[in-house]
Amino acid sequence: MSNCFILLAAGKGKRFKSNKPKQFINYVNKPLFMHSVDKALESRLFKSIIIVSNVPLKNIRNKSIKVIKGGKERYQSSQNAINFLKNKKIKNVFVHDAARPNFSIKLLKRLYSNLKNNKAVVPFLKTEDSSKYKVRNKFQNLARDNLLFTQTPQCFDFKTLHKLYISNKEKVTDEASIFLNNNYKVKFIKGEKNNFKITTNSDLKKIQLKNFYGIGFDIHRLIKNKKLYLGGIKIPFHSGLQGHSDGDVILHAIIDGLLGAMRKKDIGSLYPSHKDKFKNIRSPNMLLPILKILDKNGYFINNIDINLICERPKVSRYRGKIISSLSNLLSINKDQINLKGKTVEKLGLIGKEKAIACETIVSLNYYA
């Protein structure tokens, strides 16, 4: 089935105070428009995705995504996309405003199933407020039960929408208007409250994020003739950390903190030490699958606090390098990471430089 998802991201967002158009600002850990792209991809409903944007978009490497230029007004951007799709054997088309990042994949599926018996399906909400309508200088009461507030995504039979758009001269604010203007039937289905449009800066705070915390601890013995790895980088030292892997206590404690916050057991259950395939594994490679679980389940890192417990090496000497490395490995900013060094007054194994330990606290945000 050749369904196409058109994402309109060419707007200027005049009511939004930022030096970037709102659709490109960072919203819940990624550019705002990417929330819609990711959901369209995840739904597996679409053969292609067209992003209409007036700025070049970097880092879009998915072959099913195409970026085209938009017009001055929303309807012109939409027209550009519809024209672009002409002769591309598209059966159905979904049109969506990038300023609505919070719709659900369930909504996409409900829209699609209603499209089987309709040429236009549009989500809407009702209002709880009493409504008035101004005609010239007179206000009239409106029956609120008869009022529909339409949202996007809206979906259509491509041929019909294309035909109507060719002859359209009006400055419509959504595609449903073109159907109604031409007396074509539109099937209205229930929309979603969370699918609000982000228009002003305060709309960015409407979604409440849940927080989760995880604690991590690790200790490895120091042995001669092994390289020392901490936070993913090699540190010059007289010994290295013994272990099934490279013994990187910082990364292991971070992994356990992350798993703890996601309530997904511990590092040992993912990487059992009796399994030969994990022998000598580098710790950054142990981190990758955890970051995938994080992303897939809608979590992202808020901050990480680390205590590295050792007599030597001196943490202050390597702090910058370790934080840079962690920021790279975890794809977070440096200011989300704090690294503290703790000595133990030369006490015990750690004090005698026979072991290094690490503890972490990880804070995750959850958005789904």
Applying CB under 5 A, which residues contact Zn ion?
Answer: 218, 252
Nearest CA to 92 out of 193, 175, 181, 194 is that of: 175
- Pick between residue 217 and residue 367 the one whose CB is nearest to Zn ion: 217
Nearby residues of 135 by Cβ (< 8 Å), 6 or more positions away? none
Phi, psi of 19, rounded to the nearest 5 degrees: -80, -5
| 60/219 with CB nearer Zn ion | 219
- Cα–Cα dist 265/269, whole Å: 7
Nearer to Zn ion among residue 115 and residue 249 (C-beta): 249
| Residue 310: CB minimum distance to Zn ion, A | 14
d(CA 151, CA 186): 13
Q: Least distance (Å) from Zn ion to the CB of residue 255?
A: 9
Residue whose CB is less far from Zn ion, 50 or 357? 357
Look up residue 322 and give its DSSP letter. H
Q: Which residue has the tokens 């202050």?
A: 316
Closest separation between CB of residue 241 and Zn ion, Å? 8
Rounded Cα–Cα distance for residues 241 and 363 (Å): 27
Smallest separation (angstroms) from Zn ion to the CB of 296: 24
Residue closer to Zn ion, measured from CB, 25 or 235:
235
| 170 vs 202: CA distance, rounded Å | 31
Tokens of 147: 């009022």
User: Judged by CB, which is closer to Zn ion: 57, or 281?
Assistant: 281
Please give the full DSSP string across 219-266, using - where no structure is assigned.
EEEEETTS-EEETTEEE--S-EE-SSS---HHHHHHHHHHHHHTT---
CB of 319 to Zn ion, least distance (A): 21
Q: Compute how many other C-beta atoms are within 10 angstroms of the C-beta atom of residue 239.
A: 17
In this chain, which residue has its C-beta nearest to Zn ion?
Answer: 252
**For residue 320, what are the contacts with CB-CB under 8 A and spacing of at least 6?**
none
CA angle in degrees (0–180, nearest 5) for 311-315-316: 130
Nearer to Zn ion, 135 or 288 (CB): 288
When the beta carbons of 175 and 256 are compared against Zn ion, the nearer one is 256
Question: What is the distance between the alpha carbons of residues 52 and 31, in angstroms, rounded to a whole number?
Answer: 15
Q: Provide the CB-side half-sphere exposure for 57 (13 A, CA).
A: 25
